[in-house]
Chain A
Amino acid sequence: MAESRSSSPRSSSTHDGQGRPLVAVTGLGIVTSLGQGAAANWEALTAGRSGIRAIRRFPTEGLRTRIAGTVDFLDTDPLVAPLLSERFATVAAEEAVAQSGIGASFPGALFVAVPPVEMEWPQREALAAAAGSNDGAITYSALQRAAASRRFDGWHDVFIFGTVADRLADRFATKGSPISLSTACSSGATAIQLGVEAIRRGEMDAALCIGTDGSVNPESLIRFSLLSALSTQNDPPEAASKPFSKNRDGFVMGEGAAALVLESAESARARGATILGYVLGCGEKGDGFHRTRSSPDGAPVIAAMRAALDDAGLGPEAIDHVNAHGTSTPENDKMEALGCSAVFGERVARLPISSNKSMIGHTLTAAGAIEAVVSLLTIRHGRIPPTINYAVPDPALMLDVVDKTRDVRVSRVLSNSFGFGGQNTCLVLGDEP
């Protein structure tokens, strides 16, 4: 799509203004609670449809939050986070790789953002039952004895951290040692950043970058609930996630995955691939203020956004739209608005900003990748998906929140991702160099 347009003076068709290989996107794949595939998701997102619903996967009696954006049309046996995450990632990557036409043996490395892995309650219960101590209290010694029976050996691989990436690497025949990573809720963006950096270093011509998360289970939900991070406005479910609204009260957990095939523009052109867009810049900045809260002055968030712009060689005026982290927590949306105001100045009041999480919830480990894919679709279609449930604007935020699908030319998007542990990662995606 960029072929017919003139490049900016500072970059060529294959290298950016700093002389680094330009990184093109040649394949996209996505699965969320709204459906499978870019077409289905785009249709739902631009229709303002919500994928948030009452949780049916497990009993929610007694829970303060009983809703989530689960992917209910794909399942696994056993139904555990690592297997679900692998399934979602596989579905998304199949779509991306097929679209790219790059072939069945992927000519580059795998970078996959995966949720933390550990044994889950059904498996602990099975081990406890197998231990057979019906009268005494169950201890970890009993679970160890059951594990030593050799009946549960198959679960070792399911519940170690490297397996999801290992199986994906086998499935797509990626090259080298696959990277499994976490930067909490910015993980999906970090997976893309790692791929961009590897291509820029000249280590590889292509990278398969994935973010995936299938961890809506009782303990994960309760952990976030105990941190008071989740919305408790369960009824109706589709109205709970309301980024930038005055009455926002937390995020809604979501599931899904997205995959991007990144390629050096030179390599993509050489094989005649269709270029869907570019990852023009990546920026990150750590925050040592608090485990879950941002520095009150917003400095790290601001630094991450500016670093992404600098990396892209662009000023803030070049950004047409912000795909917000926009979790719908009181804290995040306030800090993100503060950060955007600092970076964009007065223009922030006219700069369209939108949060996909209003419809699909917070897909956690996958969010950065899913939202990068939506950003590229936004550019491609010249259409910004809405932030639904924006009925009561927060007057303190001074943002141009896109509350209805907006048709407008979008050339460059800033996609923000922020996470617990002081993680801030931002991407600049564009239609041309």
Chain B
Amino acid sequence: MSRRTGRDVVVTGIGLVSCAGEGVEAHLSAFASGEAPRTDAETFAPYPVHPVVPLTLDAQIPKKSDQRQMEPWQRLGVYAAGLALDSAGVKGDAAFKSALQLVVAAGGGERDYAVDGAILSGLREAGDPGAFLNERLLNDLRPTLFLAQLSNLLAGNISIVHGVTGASRTFMGEEACGVDALRIAHARVASGQIDTIMVGSSYNAERPDVMVVHEMGGFLDKPVYRPVFERREDKDGFVLGSAAAFLVLEAAEHAASRGARALARLMPVANDRVARRPGSVSESLTRLIGEAGVERPDVVLSGATGIADLAAEEVAGIQAALPGAEIRATGDLVGHPMEVAAPFGAALAAALCAAGSAGEVVVTSVGHRRGEGVIRVLAA
């Protein structure tokens, strides 16, 4: 499939929330410090998590009724989207927001854990399990919980709370969908199909159901956080992190015409999905780095999950294409936020460029089950 570059695409807004704090400054300073990320190894023991910092929700979600209608993953995302709109200087620009397109990478929302536990306990003694399940679900599920679970309702809430009503699309599928969201958002702007789009993702790690799903398969590291590239086979895996990241993308001429500052340039995203066999991830990354046109990055931000063999392949693939490049794992900054990993990396890359700390940054993503991606960000 051919890749056409087309118009320049610039980042004009960045919104970040994670265990490292909220906003660009907090993340740049955490990145510069190189300190271990804030970790909670107790609440969900034996699984450590990187909990999000406390947020003053009212600052981005003024209506309590809106806050109540959302579960944490949505509040995180709506909050970060608000930060991105502020950063782009368009929070109060109704016309801009009514044309602004949206691509969100997301999984699903939280469950009611108490209700689930009570139902499972009751099912053990239920004479008619089917009827019991029906009765309990009908009586115990909050009617609005469904809307806090649906994947596309993060985008829906961003539309409602912030008035972003161009149109939204939600991509699903763990790490790879975060890369796809960036790729397609970029391509739509570059090709002239649209002028402006917000792209991003949100993940709440502080929920026990995701630990069930990822413990199946043995994908979680425990019982404490260790640096991503120090995890070794048979004692590896990811430490989930709560995070949200959004970027406002614009055609360069569109940003210039409204006097907006271009924080960075996003280049065409290169990604693929190769069959997993020894060496295939390395080869894929090396090839994608070439396709992305990477030249001399100041740093490579790796979204490595913490699965040791994949991380080793990722590093080998990067080094083959970019000998001597500095590689930093974003997992050592915010943990593994699943769908958010790539948007977070891209947002941090743009922030580094905007701060004058880098001229070229590369973000790599290797999904824990599928997908490899390379995102190239340049100083504007």
Write the residues of chain A forming the contact surface with B, with a CB cutoff of 8 angstroms. 58-64, 108-109, 114, 116-119, 121, 124-125, 127-128, 134, 137-141, 143-144, 147-148, 150, 152-157, 159-163, 165-166, 169-170, 175-184, 187, 190, 194, 197-198, 200-204, 218-219, 222-227, 284-292, 300, 304, 419-425
Contact = CB atoms under 8 A, between A and B. Distances in A.
B143 A148 contact: no
Given A140-B113, A179-B180, A291-B156, A152 B216 contact: yes
B209 to A, nearest CB: 6
Interface of B: 1-4, 47, 69, 102, 107-108, 111, 113, 116-118, 120-121, 123-124, 128, 130-131, 133-135, 137-138, 141, 143-147, 149-153, 155-157, 159-160, 162-174, 176-177, 179-180, 183-184, 187-188, 191, 193, 208-209, 211-219, 271-273, 275, 367, 369-371, 373
A157 B219 CA distance: 11
Contacts of A422: 156, 159-160, 165, 168
B217 A157 contact: yes
A175 B1 contact: yes
Nearest to B141: A226
Given A61-B130, A179-B171, A203-B187, A222 B4 contact: no
A153 B218 contact: yes
Contact of A144 (B146, B176, B211, B369): B211
B131 A190 contact: no
A291 B116 contact: no
Contact of B167 (A59, A157, A424): A424
A144 B273 contact: no
Contact of B134 (A182, A222, A292): A222
A300 B212 contact: no
B172 A181 contact: yes
Contact of B213 (A156, A182, A224): A156
A222 B138 contact: yes
Given A182-B172, A202-B2, A286 B143 contact: no
Contact of B369 (A148, A166, A224): A166
B176 A197 contact: no
Given A140-B209, A144-B215, A182 B152 contact: yes
B130 A59 contact: yes
Nearest to A143: B212
A59 B134 contact: yes
Nearest to B3: A203
A121 B120 CA distance: 9
Contact of B160 (A58, A134, A288): A288
A181 B217 contact: no
Contacts of B135: 62
